[in-house]
């Protein structure tokens, strides 16, 4: 029974910053009986200090999983100022989130269990075991928790897929021309639901392509979540959408009465914004 002694010796050597010694003791202890999460982190650090990067990453990953199994608050978001700046900031209730057609982590952070990969599965998602990450905070803090949780889920999905890779050709030759038809596809992108509409006409050119990016869906929620917040919260709330500004660099205005549609480009929007603030706010 050398385990407790080796753990003690390892911790003691770690405190002295004797990395090699600490690493040896902890590794022996780990072989005899798997270490606890805190000791795993020590082992990872010693491996890093000795320049063994592969071992460092492997052990750190084990420590991370052990943390998750223990159901501990994610260390990444355990910071007083971070919590102070994000908790209760930009709150959206589940009802507001659904009313503004939010999608992705924004929606799930308000406690709505909706994910295209589960609710309208595509590709191999039905075959992979994974769970939808939701949170009931509804604020920027909750959105962070959801995103960090999804990182872990995504890693697990990738690992599961690699382990269960089916037989078959890796590369296939696509047909030269797409057959005539229309497709509307929905994907769960990191920012939320991404919708593509494609119409093809038996050539190698696409006849019509429409994209609805998740940022566009999430943007409008700012009108609700910013009410009653401080000026200093604006960057926090806006950044929590994880906005893809190049996805929203144009606006299509549909006038139902005149039966007209008009698209404003990025340059026009920019000029419009400057003119608006100069005239209305005297900036």
Concatenated DSSP letters for 56-88? Answer: HHHHHHHHHHHHHHTTPPPGGG--HHHHHHHTT
Of the two residues 112 and 222, which places its CB atom closer to another protein in the complex?
A: 222
What part of residues 40-79 is at the interface with another protein (CB under 8 A)? Answer: 79
Q: Exposed, middle or buried by CB within 10 Å (0-12, 13-18, 19+), for 37? A: middle
Q: Which of 70, 81, 162, 245 binds another protein (CB under 8 A)?
A: 81
- Shortest distance in whole angstroms from residue 32 CB to another protein: 34
Of the two residues 176 and 230, which places its CB atom closer to another protein in the complex?
A: 230
Q: Which residue has the tokens 């994910």?
A: 115
Write the CA distances from 130 to 79, 97, 159, integer angstroms: 28, 24, 11
- Shortest distance in whole angstroms from residue 240 CB to another protein: 13
Of the two residues 32 and 236, which places its CB atom closer to another protein in the complex?
A: 236
Q: Which of 4, 58, 84, 273 binds another protein (CB under 8 A)?
A: 84
Of the two residues 88 and 111, which places its CB atom closer to another protein in the complex?
A: 88
Of the two residues 158 and 234, which places its CB atom closer to another protein in the complex?
A: 234
256 binds another protein (CB under 8 A): no
Within a 10 A sphere around the Cβ of 143, how many other Cβ atoms? 27
CB 225 within 8 A of CB 91: yes
Structure tokens at 190: 């990191």
**Count of chain residues binding another protein (CB under 8 A):** 12
Of the candidates 24, 21, 61, the residue with the CA atom closest to the CA atom of residue 40: 61
What part of residues 204-243 is at the interface with another protein (CB under 8 A)? Answer: 230-235
Residues of this chain that bind another protein (CB under 8 A): 79, 81-82, 84-85, 230-235, 283
């Amino acid at each position: 029974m050398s385990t407790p002694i080796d753990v003690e010796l390892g911790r003691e050597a770690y405190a002295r910053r004797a990395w090699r010694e600490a690493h040896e003791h902890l590794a022996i202890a780990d072989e005899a009986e798997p270490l606890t999460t805190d000791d795993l982190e020590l082992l990872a650090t010693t491996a890093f200090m000795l320049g063994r990067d592969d071992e460092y990453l492997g052990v750190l990953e084990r420590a991370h999983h052990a943390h998750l199994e223990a159901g501990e608050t994610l260390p990444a978001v355990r910071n007083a100022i971070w919590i102070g700046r994000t908790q209760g900031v930009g709150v959206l209730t589940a009802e507001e989130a659904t009313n503004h057609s939010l999608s992705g982590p924004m929606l799930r952070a308000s406690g709505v269990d909706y994910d295209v990969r589960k609710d309208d599965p595509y590709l191999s998602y039905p075959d992979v075991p994974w769970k939808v990450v939701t949170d009931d905070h509804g604020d920027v803090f909750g959105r962070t928790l959801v995103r960090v949780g999804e990182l872990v889920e995504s890693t697990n999905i990738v690992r599961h897929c690699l382990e269960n890779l089916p037989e078959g050709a890796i590369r296939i030759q696509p047909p030269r021309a797409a057959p005539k038809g229309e497709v509307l596809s929905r994907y769960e992108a990191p920012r939320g639901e991404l919708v593509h509409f494609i119409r093809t006409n038996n050539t190698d050119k696409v006849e019509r392509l429409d994209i609805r990016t998740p940022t566009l869906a999430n943007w409008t929620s700012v009108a609700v979540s910013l009410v009653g917040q401080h000026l200093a919260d604006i960057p926090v709330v806006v950044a929590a959408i994880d906005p893809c500004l190049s996805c929203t660099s144009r606006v299509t205005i549909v006038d139902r009465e005149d039966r007209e549609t008009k698209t404003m480009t990025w340059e026009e929007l920019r000029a419009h914004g400057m003119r608006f603030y100069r005239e209305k706010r005297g900036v």
